[in-house]
Structure 1
Amino acid sequence: MSHVNSPPGTPGRAAARFPLDVIYQAARMYYLEDATQVEIAQRLDVSRPTVSRLIAEARRLGLVHISVTDPFIDENAGLAEALRDVLGLKAVYLAPVTHASTLGSDLAIPVAAAIADMQLGVGDTLLMSLGRTVHDLVFSGSLPPLSGVTIVPAVGGQAEPQPWFQTNEITRMAAEVSGARSRFLFTQSFPSAGMRAGLEADPTFLQVTDSWKTAKGALLGIGAPTATRENLSTGLPEDKHLFDEAAGDVCLNFFRADGSAVEFPGSERMVRVSRDNLANLPHAIGVAVGVDKVLSIVGAIRASLINHLVTDPATAKALLVGTKGGLQH
């Protein structure tokens, strides 16, 4: 659907590159009369490339507003409600469609809706996790304005080589694109016993970890089953077989499909928001897309690590089919 505003009497903030009346006429004929660019060129006595530039200029100046309506909006709303009820979640938000190359921007609208429902205000804290989906969301600039809110990492990620595990950088960018404030964790996720003891005496570290207990919400990526993943965080123990039973993880809290915790020697010194902290969050928003994440999403819900879900219709339908078929624990 297109709407063309009448040209203002004087140019707006952006200077027009052509006469405003000509820009308006070209846009009106193109969008409202369905005239071709060749027809417009003949009627305005200009070249066809000039018509293309006139139409682009109309959009640049704000004379044209285009909206695209999701044809499945009612169907998706019903799907979200059904999934919410079946999984026992507080809310489910669906993106109309997603693609790996545009995942961050595809999820922007449902994530914004989920964050809006948090009703974050000045002084509130939002936790930010790690993972490809959260990384893509943040670095696509797809977070809503969060002025006065403080964003903090929910897990350590210092010295990680992969950008989607670099929690300080994800947090920094999230604050930049949303206008929020930020705090950081200057430690890896699995520090040595000596380093962990030192961290417990560091006021900056304690300020962040204390905020995990009082945060109003969190944006949480849900990791896929470890057996299907090419790599894990380098901050974890080197023996990757420790996680063979894991159906997924949230902030490096690994869990089986039945929701039970996958722990390992030294896991008590992990720098990560705890399962109890996540379970007590008013808005623990899990973000995950793909049929390979079905068991991971269900496991995260059974573990009480998320209570809201952002996904797409294909994943939602796979979840409904899986739950009706009795997903294996």
Structure 2
Amino acid sequence: MLHMVAKLHYVEEMAQVDIARRLKLSTATVSRMLQKARSLGIVKIEVMDLVAPNEVAEELAELLGLKGVAVAETVSPGMVGALAAPLADLLKEAGFASGSVVGIGWGRAIREVISAGLPRLGGVTVVPLNGGLQQSAAHFQINEFVRQAAEQMGGEPRFLHAPYVSSPELRAAFLADSGVNDTVSLWDKLDCAIVGVGLPHPINPPEASAATASEKALTEAVGDVIRHYFDHDGKTVSWEGEERMIAASREQLGRARLSIAVAASPEKAAGLIGAVRSGMVNAIVTDTATAQAIISMLMPSRG
């Protein structure tokens, strides 16, 4: 049925209301089926880029002073896994190998690139960059991301069985646990961090962020990296709860040889700029459309 609906709409150019009438469905059902057909890869919409990804990558690196950048052809919504290949190239070029500590964040982009596959590096230690949430959503399962990433890289996983935020007393108790401390101590030894960049809460669906009321009130924030929020200039935007987080600090992320933000959405252009300016990110893996949106923000006369 999905294939039929997709073919009627995209090949025969039939309007959704006419498809609904022919198949005795509601237009809302037809719309959902078309969205599902795209997410499953039954339908692929390609927009040809006007510039080569490597040209955009060079300009992006120069404008933001990045240590690493990889740009793929523009990806379709829900197909962020296409960034796995350029991410793999960046990791291999950096020469991470036995003894390197690789930190993994959470979020949809991180989930997608890990699902698509990371390169075999051999002997690396893979560690979560923050504690977990009591949420069933797939993009919050950070220990599972670590397990998969370590398996793909041929490394050793270290898990963190602690909440990402709790009371001051519970935080202290968790950090006093030897198992938790062994993992958390690796944040001072990060060679690489792979993180997503969150959207501002006014345009981010609640189910995508599971944000607290304090976080949702951060109207000046353009994004976050593992719940460390910042404005367009990279300045810290504090929230009630940040000091109670069990997560790698801004400084620990900034000291990593390569701290890579993975994102593909022009909506995240401001967030990516802020993440780099904050010092938490020094490398970007993205697509051409997002890269061009970043360049347009940095050089408005170009737009």
TM-score of the superposed pair, with normalisation by structure 1: 0.72
Equivalent residue number for residue 86 of structure 1: 63
Note the 1:1-329 alignment, pairs <5 A. 75-104=52-81, 106-140=82-116, 142-231=117-206, 233-234=209-210, 237-325=212-300
Equivalent residue number for residue 53 of structure 1: none
Deviation of the 1:176 alpha carbon: 2.3
* One-letter code aligned to 2:77: A
Distance 1:240 1:285, change over 3 A: closer
Distance 1:88 1:207, change over 3 A: same
Q: From the two aligned structures, give the one with the greater helix fraction.
A: 2
CA contact (8 A) 1:97 1:313 kept: yes
CA contact (8 A) 1:151 1:171 kept: yes
Higher relative contact order (CA 8 A, sep 6+): 2
Distance 1:85 1:150, change over 3 A: same
CA contact (8 A) 2:164 2:245 kept: yes
Mind listing any 5+ residue stretches in structure 2 that lack a counterpart? 1-47
Deviation of the 1:84 alpha carbon: 0.5
For residues 303 and 121 of structure 1, the distance between their equivalents in structure 2, rounded to whole angstroms, comes to: 27
CA contact (8 A) 1:93 1:310 kept: yes
* One-letter code aligned to 2:102: L
* One-letter code aligned to 2:164: S
* One-letter code aligned to 1:294: A
CA contact (8 A) 1:158 1:185 kept: no
Greater Cα radius of gyration, structure 1 or 2: 1
* One-letter code aligned to 1:237: T
CA contact (8 A) 1:160 1:233 kept: no
SS at match of 1:152: strand
CA contact (8 A) 2:164 2:247 kept: yes
The CA deviation string for residues 238-291 of structure 1, in whole angstroms up to 9 with x for no partner, is 444333322111111111112111212332121111111111111001111111
CA contact (8 A) 2:92 2:121 kept: no
The CA deviation string for residues 156-185 of structure 1, in whole angstroms up to 9 with x for no partner, is 114222111121111112122332210111
Instruction: Give me the identity figure in percent.
Output: 32
SS at match of 1:107: helix
RMSD value, Cα: 2.1
CA contact (8 A) 1:128 1:153 kept: yes
CA contact (8 A) 2:202 2:216 kept: no
Deviation of the 1:102 alpha carbon: 2.8
- Segments of 4+ in structure 1 off by > 4 A? 71-74
CA contact (8 A) 2:276 2:282 kept: yes
Distance 1:73 1:170, change over 3 A: farther
